[in-house]
Amino acid sequence: MLSPRICEIVKTAGSRGIVLEEKETMQITMLENGIDSIQHGFNSYVRYTESIKGKPSTNKDDYFILKQAILSTHHGVEILLKYILYKQSEFLIVDEFKDDYKKAYKEKTDQGLASVFQTSKASRIHTITYDEALDRVKFFSNTPLNSQLENKLIELNKIRNALTHAEVSVDDSLIDNVFDNLLIELDVLFLKAIGTDYKAFYRYTDIKANYDHYMQFLTANKMDIMKDVVEALSKAVEKTRLYSGQEEVVYIDDISIAKVFLKALQEKQTFGMDLFNGWCSGIARLNIIDDGHVSIWADDDKDEAIIKFKSMIVYIPKIESNQSPVVILESDNDDVESELEQYIQIDDGVKYLDGICFEGTKKYTTYNPKDLYEFECKCDYEEGFVIPPHYGITRFLTQRIIGCFNIQGLQYWDFHKLLTFAQKKTGKRLADEMTAK
């Protein structure tokens, strides 16, 4: 941009035929260039997928967005593949060592430049093609290139070539298969090959790229519980594609995704819990019920709480801290059968039903205070009364941050303080505030 002073001089000097220019040089490093193109490519792909949602057919404008996604992603991949090679040796990205390159190399050496691409001959140096860069990374790089990613990148190149050389007709499903899970795979490849200079798009990439290192660290330090937790979180994150990493907050309002996380975390470990009403348990289990509810079972108390699922927050701790991941559940407003409405109680603004579930050949639940009182009297005062198998059950019916859960054996937060802080908040707002902190 011209400075105000230069602009003024140009205006006043124009009548005398004087033209002044302020020259600037666009400077973008190879790494910045590649990362920027991949970011624009995947942003365009997200725009495309959002644009076609709910449409009976894809229109031309949508395909132009998709075209930009393909071209930008291809460019970013090509540049970063070359950067992997360039870090090993500049020679690995040069196509042929002709006179222009030799002169550029001498100029770089004489002037103490960092690269031949900073010399006056830079525009005359031909680098290798996308295909050759992919091939050389496969054979010359110390970072393994798995066959699944390699095949996707080969297909990406075919689609890009079709776009740049003539009219194009490519099946949408083929493009979707290329982009499916591609960013996380590229993230892992580039982080492994380039190191911390590469700014990963997902925080989970660090865990995936360095998974073996973390497992070895946890094994060496006898942190067996944390090892199981990292394994469980990795499994859940991969399956749900919520690529969250260390010290990151995940907000989940899809009950099917919540089910995956809860199943993985409870496969080998046990939850402890604190609910908003002071109910605590050292052995708790969370189960998603098919009707959209969550069962919270306290094994040491033999009591059950049931909520309608609204959201779940998962905090993923720093792996080497030995801190527990934290699960926070939000209940939703819930309806009950009309005959039970008369038994609804309210405590601290939360509606609930308190009852007993009798087990046996004929399982049944009662919330009728009269039934509860009579049963309690029989247990306490009636000689010879055989107490049937039973457990307490509470159904919470109001939207609220209902409770916090931690993996037993690991360090965890002050849940009482957190639940007090979250009393009037929605799960989304709490997750946002936790992220901001």
DSSP 13-79: HGGGT------------HHHHHHHHHHHHHHHHHHHHHHHTT-SS--HHHHHHHHHHHHHHHHHHHH
Q: Same domain for 257 and 387?
A: yes
Q: Is residue 18 part of a domain?
A: no
Q: Same domain for 177 and 295?
A: no
Residue 118, domain extent: 30-201
Q: Same domain for 77 and 142?
A: yes
Report the chain's mean pLDDT, rounded to a whole number: 89
Ranked by mean pLDDT, which of 105-114, 124-133, 154-163 comes out on top?
154-163
And the tokens for 232?
A: 């469980």
Task: Count structural domains, the chain.
Answer: 2
Q: What percent of the chain shows pLDDT beyond 90? A: 71
Q: Same domain for 174 and 270?
A: no
For residue 400, pLDDT beyond 50: yes
Q: Is residue 367 part of a domain?
A: yes
pLDDT, residue 14, reads 42
Give the contacts of 311 (CB within 8 A, at least 6 positions apart). Answer: 251, 252, 253, 329, 330, 426, 427, 428, 431
pLDDT, residue 40, reads 95
**Mean per-residue pLDDT, 120-146:** 89
CB 101 within 8 A of CB 119: no
pLDDT, residue 8, reads 43
pLDDT 10s digits, 64-99:
999 999 999 999 999 999 999 999 988 898 887 777
pLDDT, residue 360, reads 78
CB count within 10 Å of CB 374 equals: 12
Phi-psi region of 334 (alpha: psi -120 to 50; beta: other; left: phi over 0): beta
pLDDT, residue 22, reads 58
For residue 147, pLDDT beyond 50: yes
pLDDT 10s digits, 304-360:
999 999 999 999 999 988 899 999 999 999 999 999 999 999 998 999 999 999 987
Q: Is residue 1 part of a domain?
A: no
Per-residue confidence at 125, pLDDT binned at 50, 70, 90?
confident
Q: Same domain for 192 and 275?
A: no
Q: Same domain for 173 and 74?
A: yes
For residue 181, pLDDT beyond 70: yes
Q: Same domain for 182 and 279?
A: no
pLDDT, residue 6, reads 33
Q: 104-108, 179-183, 382-386: which range is least confident on average?
A: 104-108
For residue 195, pLDDT beyond 50: yes
Written as one letter, the residue type at 287 is N
For residue 426, pLDDT beyond 90: yes
Q: Is residue 207 part of a domain?
A: no
Among residues 184, 201, 218, which one ends one of the domains? Answer: 201
Q: Is residue 5 part of a domain?
A: no
Q: Same domain for 288 and 414?
A: yes
Q: Same domain for 256 and 129?
A: no
Q: What percent of the chain shows pLDDT beyond 70? A: 94
pLDDT, residue 2, reads 37
Which residue in 152, 41, 35, 150 sits closest to 83, CA to CA?
A: 35
pLDDT 10s digits, 7-50:
443 344 344 444 545 567 788 889 999 999 999 999 999 999 99
Q: Is residue 241 part of a domain?
A: no
pLDDT, residue 57, reads 86
Q: Same domain for 263 and 194?
A: no
- Write b or e for each residue in 142-157: b if 16 or more Cβ atoms lie within 10 A of its Cβ, otherwise e: eeebeeebeebbeebb
pLDDT, residue 365, reads 94
Give the pTM: 0.80
pLDDT 10s digits, 259-286:
999 999 999 999 999 999 999 999 999 9
Q: Is residue 87 part of a domain?
A: yes
Among residues 173, 201, 229, which one ends one of the domains? Answer: 201
For residue 381, pLDDT beyond 80: yes
For residue 198, pLDDT beyond 50: yes
Q: Is residue 209 part of a domain?
A: no
CB 210 within 8 A of CB 44: no
Q: Same domain for 191 and 324?
A: no
pLDDT 10s digits, 287-305:
999 899 999 999 988 899 9
Among residues 167, 186, 201, which one ends one of the domains? Answer: 201
Phi first, then psi: give them for residue 194, nearest 5 degrees.
-100, -35
pLDDT, residue 173, reads 92
295 vs 414: CA distance, rounded Å: 23
Q: Same domain for 105 and 178?
A: yes
